[in-house]
Structures are given as structure tokens and as C-alpha cells.
Amino acid sequence: MSTDVNAQHPYSPAFRAGDTIYVSGALSVDRDYRPVAGRDAALDAAMDRMTERLATAGGRVDDVVKLTYYVTDVSLREEANRQFERVFAQPRPARTFLAVSALPYGATVEIDAIAVVGEPPAE
């Protein structure tokens, strides 16, 4: 399977509309779509995928205004809180934390994000 985060998807992993970027489906998988083991490692993998996707549309972590965690184990909340504090400076973006029954590819974490950015870079 391709390692390009934008390849082979029937949707846009990152979509820019004006000054807003919508990032979807950032899973806790490696570049070959295998689930990442370990609680903190899975959270970090999903955050890394989200950051990569955000960058493809010209965004940075500092631009994120809303983040949604989808997890298969609600007890990940404390680890997610620590990650959120580590990754985002104050004031931190709004956040939602939801438990789901399953995620694609056996992942345990998925992150969606909304970012607000300035004008796109000149081509």
C-alpha cells in the first residue's frame, strides 16, 4: 500500500476551504497501515498522521482550533489529556473525546481536526 497519506482514499484526508483546513481519518497506524501497539505510541501515531495530513494543506499544529479523538478504549482519556497538554500550547484548542466500538485497520485511535490558517502560500 502507498505511503502517501493522500493516495488511495475515496475522501480528502485534508481539505482546505479558504482559511480553514479539515483533517479526517488520522489513524494510529504505521505507514503500511498496520496498527501501532501501546497506548501512548498509538496516540502519538494518530497525532503524527494528523500533523502530516494538516501539513499537506499548508497547516501546522499551532493552527488547530478543534480536535476530536475517537478511541476504542475510553480509559485512554488520561493519556490523551497528557498528549494534548504536551502537543498544544495554551490556549489549547477545543477538544472532544469519544469512545467507538471499532476503527479501520485495527487502529485504536483516530483523530479529526479543524485548523484556521492564513492565506495559502504563493505558487
Other C-beta atoms closer than 10 Å to the C-beta of 96 total 10
Residue 85 belongs to domain spanning: 14-116
In a domain, 122, yes or no: no
pTM for this predicted structure: 0.86
In a domain, 58, yes or no: yes
Q: Judge contact between 39 and 90, C-beta under 8 A.
A: no
Instruction: Assign residue 85 the CATH number of its domain.
Output: 3.30.1330.40
In a domain, 4, yes or no: no
- Say how far apart CA 123 and CA 121 lie, in whole Å: 6
- Cell representation of residue 33: 497501515
In a domain, 7, yes or no: no
In a domain, 94, yes or no: yes
In a domain, 73, yes or no: yes
Number of domains in the chain: 1
In a domain, 121, yes or no: no
- Say how far apart CA 75 and CA 99 lie, in whole Å: 9
In a domain, 98, yes or no: yes
- Cell representation of residue 65: 482550533
CA atoms within a 13 Å half-sphere pointing along the CA-CB vector of 36: 20
Predicted confidence pLDDT, tens digits, the chain (123 residues): 333 444 556 778 999 999 999 999 899 999 899 999 999 999 999 999 999 999 999 999 999 999 999 999 999 999 999 999 999 988 899 999 999 999 999 999 999 999 999 765 565
